[in-house]
Amino acid sequence: MTAKLRWLAGHLEEALCAAIMTFMAGLGFLNVVTRYLGYSLAYTEEVLVMLMVWLTMFGAAVGFKRGNHLAMSFLRDRCPESVRSGLDLLNLLLTLGTLTAVIYLCLAYQLPDEILMDTRTSALDIPTWYYTLAIPVGGASVMIRASEAYLRGLARRGEAA
């Protein structure tokens, strides 16, 4: 059982992305079929948009974990190893700082306002904070995976030295 939990902890974002994508594809397909039959499930678009926000945040975490995020590496790759190590640390610190600020602003201002004002979607009457909650949860996930990727890079450089 612990091996399965260890795998899930290491691949949580991938599993969530796969589940969300599968559900979104099924819901989108159902929407197309029902429209063809003369019915409309247009209100499900709110669910698809909400899930896309969550998918984006978890997908960003997967990108950082795998080192597949957008990077301007032209100059970095031409620097000596010692400079590259410093640039990698700067990259991590800027990533963590930006996400910390975004998460703080979301938790301090956006989420409380949405909950206090009880803002809801127009068709399904879903609280909008369900969408917004993706920012701190996904942001924390990105911070964890970016830190793990940095530490893996340090370990690899240590082995190469």
> What does the pLDDT look like over 4-39, one tens digit per residue?
888 888 899 999 999 999 999 999 999 889 988 988
Q: Which of 18-22, 79-83, 90-94, 132-136 has the lowest mean pLDDT?
A: 79-83
Q: What pLDDT does 161 receive?
A: 52
Burial of 46 (0-12, 13-18, 19+ CB in 10 A): middle
* Domain hosting residue 80, numbered range: 2-160
Q: What is the mean pLDDT of residues 103-112?
A: 97
pLDDT number for residue 43: 83
Q: Which two tokens stand for residue 17?
A: 């992305």
Looking at the 3D structure of the chain, how many domains does it have? 1
Please report the DSSP string for the chain in residue order: -HHHHHHHHHHHHHHHHHHHHHHHHHHHHHHHHHHHTT---TTHHHHHHHHHHHHHHHHHHHHHHHT-S----TTGGGS-HHHHHHHHHHHHHHHHHHHHHHHHHIIIIIHHHHHHTT-B-TTT--BTHHHHTHHHHHHHHHHHHHHHHHHHHHHHHHHH-
Residues 128/114, Cβ–Cβ less than 8 Å:
yes
The total of other beta-carbon atoms located within 10 Å of residue 89's CB is 13
pTM strictly above 0.85 = yes
Give the pLDDT confidence of 46-88 residue by residue, as tens digits.
Answer: 999 999 999 999 999 999 999 887 777 888 889 998 899 899 9
What is d(CA 120, CA 152) in angstroms, rounded to the nearest whole number? 42
The pLDDT mean for the chain works out to 92
Q: Is the pLDDT of residue 132 over 70?
A: yes
User: pLDDT category, 160, cuts 50, 70, 90?
Assistant: low
Q: Who's near 14: CB < 8 A, 6+ residues apart?
A: 62
CA–CA separation, 105 and 56 (whole Å): 19
CA atoms within 13 A on the CB side of 35: 10
Per-residue pLDDT, 104: 98
